[in-house]
Structure formats: C-alpha cells, structure tokens
Chains A and B, each alone.
Chain A
Amino acid sequence: SHLRVSASGPDAISEKVAESIKEAEEACAGDPVSGECVAAWDAVEELSAAASHARERSKNSDPLETYCKDNPETDECRTYDN
C-alpha cells in the first residue's frame, strides 16, 4: 500500500519508528514491566537511532558534491591541484 523508495531511506525508517511506538504502547498496555514491553521499547530506541543516523547521512550531502561524484569532468566540478 505504501510506496517504499529505499529500505534504509529516512522516510521509510520514520514510518517504522511510528509503527514500533504503536506496538510498544500496545505491548505495555497489559503489563508495563513485562519482558515483552521492555523489548518493544528497546526496538523503538534501535529504530530511532537508525532514523537519526539516516537523517544525518542525507543531511550532509551537498547537491553539488553529489553531482560531482558522478560527473567529475563537468565545468562546475573540475578541480586541478596546480
């Protein structure tokens, strides 16, 4: 039903984070100290960390530098050391 561009893209992980939070809230509704509840919140933390790392990666990409990786011979990308 959902369009998934890349399994590890920030948007796809965001969706998983939201899902995992719902699951954790459900798992903890019955017993807030059960192993099931604790493991579910641990999964939330793991996915939140992965989401943050993915955001970091995509944020750091400068559009010109990304373009120059694939097209080093173009006018705007050519650099000579001396």
Chain B
Amino acid sequence: MAISTAHSLNPTYSIFNPTQTHLGFSQRQQVIYKARVRPSYVITCSAGDTIVIGLAADSGCGKSTFMRRLTSVFGGAAEPPRGGNPDSNTLISDTTTVICLDDYHSLDRTGRKEKGVTALDPRANDFDLMYEQVKALKSGVAVQKPIYNHVTGLLDPPELIKPPKILVIEGLHPMYDKRVRDLLDFSIYLDISNDVKFAWKIQRDMAERGHSLESIKASIEARKPDFDAYIDPQKQYADAVIEVLPTQLIPGDNEGKVLRVKLIMKEGVQYFSPVYLFDEGSTISWIPCGRKLTCSYPGIKFAYGPDSYFGNEVSILEMDGQFDRLDELIYVESHLSNISTKFYGEVTQQMLKHSDFPGSNNGTGLFQTIVGLKIRDLFEQISSSKAAGTLQAAKA
C-alpha cells in the first residue's frame, strides 16, 4: 500500500505585510485569509485521519488546565509552535494540536468596542472561516490560521497549522455553528455555576492591580446576557459535560474551595461508553471515607445514576468534597468501571503527575483526567476502524 503525505505546493503567504498598521482592518483581512486558504495544498491518500475534539467553556473556567491534562494523557509536552509568534494561542505536541477559537474573531478588540459587542457575540466571530479551516484540517490539509493576540487585542499575521492526529478546538463557540459541530468527533462543555465562577475569578483577579470585588462582579454581570444567549445553550450538544457546583457537604458554603462536580455522559455515542460506579444503570450513593480512605471534614461523597439532560439519556457520576491524600485516589479508581485505562492505577498516576494543577484534589481534576482517557480510547477505536475499512476496500 502506498503511503503518502500532504505536501505544500505553494508555501508562500506573503500577501500579509507585517509592517502595515493594524487599525481598523479586520474586515479586509478576513477576505484575504479566505481567498488563500484552499488552493495551496493537495489532499493525498493519508488524508482524513484527524479526529476533532471540541471543548467549550467561558473565559477563566479552566480550559487550559483541562488541555494540559488531556495532552499529558497522550504523552509528550504541548508547546507553542517553535519560532513563531510569541503570543500564539496554539499548543502542539506529537499527537495533538490545540487551537484557540478566539483566533477566529472577525472583530478585534477595538472593532468590538466600536460596534458595542462582546467576544461572546456570534457577530464578533467568523464561523465561515472556522468551518473551512477545521474541515480542511480534518481532511488532511494544512491551513494558515489567523492569530488573535490577547495582549494587544489585535489580529496578528497567520500561522501555518498542519493536520495533527488529534485536533482540539477550544474556546467559546466550538458547538455554536452546526457545520462546525457536525465535524466534531467528540465534544465537551465545562459548565461552571455562577457562584463558583465568581469565587474563581476573585481568586484569579483580586491580586491584580485595579481589580476590586465590584469590578469582578461588574465584568461577570456585563457578560452574562451574551453568555446565556450564545454560550450556555451549547451544552445540550456536548457528549460530556463537567458541571461544577458549590458543595452540599458544608451547609451554606459558596467559597468555591470545596466543590461538587458532575460528569454528565451522553448514552449511545459511538466509541464512547460512559464510566460507571459499581453497577451500570443503578442509582448509587457512596461515601468512601472509612478505614481505607482518610477524609477530614467535610469528607467525600460519590453519586452515580441514570438521568435525562436536555431530552437526552445520560449517565451522571458525581463527586462532592476533596481528597486529603492524592495517592489514596487509587481506592476510588478501583471502584470505577469503564475508565479506559491501559493499566491499573493510571488515573491516579496521571493525577499525581500533575498534583500542582488546579483541581487536583477534587472532582474537576478527576473527571478531566477520566475524560482525557475516554478521548484516547475514542481516538484508538476510530483509528482502528478506519484501518479496518481501508483493508476491506483494498481487498474488494
């Protein structure tokens, strides 16, 4: 069987002049990108092996931590493209490329201020270009993707993105546009409740100069209508939702330190079988604290059971509380089934490897790690079924 790769026929993208002024050019620039995306590459027989994962969450809700856990499951460190724009949002590892969908902003920061729209607004994003480039990458074609610079608020000259084995698109709108949504092999939504979001942003911003409780509150309040209208509805399409809520173990607590985290997994998704606790399909409440697991106040409580979510049948696994000693997580891991590990203790090992990441002692880290393993499993199943398909075609 012949093996070939995608080649660049014409790697010249010199239309963009980096010395030109950035002011007020966003509309014009967009047209230039579109015009030169496609014709420069040929699709060859290795094309179409890329699987695409979508991760949706609001700003400051732990997307980057999730991404670091996910790329770690696949091995190798994820790093920004070498020698490129130092403010690039892309992360590349051996198997995985993560692109930030802010790069598809059609309006830069000044443009949004002039028009009076937020980055959450679909009018500030170019879904046509997003669709074209994700589709191209999925079918094995490299693209010149724009870079949205979060520091300057401007659209920088584009960077070359080659089709990886696994493409992760993360940002505010991975499931907003139906065309993009249909390209996704798996989708995840990080759903942070308002109380927890507020607590996290206080932790993140209070030390920052100029910020006060009022400014943090005002920023959340101002963005909320657009968030509710355009971002939140995407969770109905997600294959897995990680919901983060205040704990129920401490009455009246909303500090956001102890968390109740739910992993909501859609049933009947191809290549994805939900995790379960003890007995698949039953409803179970489990307090593991006792002789085998050290828990100080307020302890740990697990729950598992079938449910319905936006009219879909789902399985929900829930963890409330936090671990005191991470190595004892092995006790919890040994009671979970269908976690797609390659060896006994892999979840615990992954968690220990990144014990410094936020959420490592509670359900956010645990469920993010498990979702990472499920994605690895999905990738392996899709790859092997494609290989089998090619073999069949070759025999025929």
Task: Report yes or no: B117 in contact with A45, Cβ–Cβ below 8 A.
Answer: no
Residues of A within 8 A of B225 (CB): 38
**CA separation between A53 and B352, bound complex, in Å?**
22
Task: Report yes or no: B219 in contact with A18, Cβ–Cβ below 8 A.
Answer: no
Q: How far is the CB of B268 from chain A (nearest CB, A)?
A: 36
Type the 1/0 row for B207-218, where 1 means its CB is closer than 8 Å to any CB of A: 011110001001
Q: Which residues from 103 to 159 on chain B have a C-beta closer than 8 Å to any C-beta of chain A?
A: 109, 112-113, 115-120, 150-153
If A14-B208, A36-B116, A39-B118 touch, whether A49 touches B215 (CB-CB below 8 Å) is no
Q: Which of B113, B120, B205 contacts A43 (CB 8 A)?
A: B113
Residues of B within 8 A of A35 (CB): 115-117
Residue A68 is within 8 A (CB to CB) of chain B in the complex: no
Residue B307 is within 8 A (CB to CB) of chain A in the complex: no
Which of B64, B112, B115, B208 has the most chain A CB within a 10 Å cutoff? B208
| Closest chain A residue, CB of each to CB of B109 | A43
Residues of A within 8 A of B87 (CB): 7-8
Task: Report yes or no: A16 in contact with B113, Cβ–Cβ below 8 A.
Answer: no
Task: Report yes or no: B151 in contact with A50, Cβ–Cβ below 8 A.
Answer: yes
Q: How far is the CB of A15 from chain B (nearest CB, A)?
A: 7
Task: Report yes or no: A53 in contact with B223, Cβ–Cβ below 8 A.
Answer: no
| Closest chain B residue, CB of each to CB of A48 | B205
If A13-B151, A39-B117, A43-B153 touch, whether A49 touches B59 (CB-CB below 8 Å) is yes
Task: Report yes or no: A38 in contact with B59, Cβ–Cβ below 8 A.
Answer: no
Task: Report yes or no: B64 in contact with A53, Cβ–Cβ below 8 A.
Answer: yes
Residues of A within 8 A of B221 (CB): 41
Please report the total number of A residues contacting B with Cβ < 8 Å.
Answer: 36
Residues of B within 8 A of A13 (CB): 151
7 residue pairs of the A-B complex, CB under 8 angstroms, read A17-B211, A24-B219, A36-B116, A39-B115, A42-B120, A46-B59, A53-B64
Q: How far is the CB of B242 from chain A (nearest CB, A)?
A: 19
Contact residue range for chain B? 20 to 34
**CA separation between A72 and B328, bound complex, in Å?**
37
Type the 1/0 row for A17-43, where 1 means its CB is closer than 8 Å to any CB of B: 111011011001000001111111111
If A7-B151, A15-B209, A49-B150 touch, whether A44 touches B215 (CB-CB below 8 Å) is yes
Task: List residues of B whose CB falls within 8 A of some A CB.
Answer: 59-60, 64, 86-87, 109, 112-113, 115-120, 150-153, 201, 204-205, 208-211, 215, 218-219, 221-223, 225-226
Q: How far is the CB of A31 from chain B (nearest CB, A)?
A: 10
Residues of A within 8 A of B152 (CB): 7
**CA separation between A18 and B3, bound complex, in Å?**
55
Task: Report yes or no: A46 in contact with B150, Cβ–Cβ below 8 A.
Answer: yes
If A40-B113, A48-B205, A52-B204 touch, whether A17 touches B210 (CB-CB below 8 Å) is yes
The 7 closest A-B pairs by CB, nearest first: A35-B116, A18-B210, A41-B222, A42-B118, A50-B150, A21-B210, A41-B219
Q: How far is the CB of B279 from chain A (nearest CB, A)?
A: 41
**CA separation between A43 and B116, bound complex, in Å?**
11
Q: Which of A8, A28, A40, A44 contacts B151 (CB 8 A)?
A: A8
Task: Report yes or no: A45 in contact with B210, Cβ–Cβ below 8 A.
Answer: no
**CA separation between A17 and B212, bound complex, in Å?**
12
**CA separation between A39 and B117, bound complex, in Å?**
5
Task: Report yes or no: A17 in contact with B151, Cβ–Cβ below 8 A.
Answer: no
| Closest chain A residue, CB of each to CB of B210 | A18
Q: Which of A7, A17, A34, A38 contacts B226 (CB 8 A)?
A: A38
Q: How far is the CB of B206 from chain A (nearest CB, A)?
A: 11
Task: Report yes or no: A22 in contact with B119, Cβ–Cβ below 8 A.
Answer: no
Task: Report yes or no: A18 in contact with B209, Cβ–Cβ below 8 A.
Answer: yes
| Closest chain A residue, CB of each to CB of B224 | A38
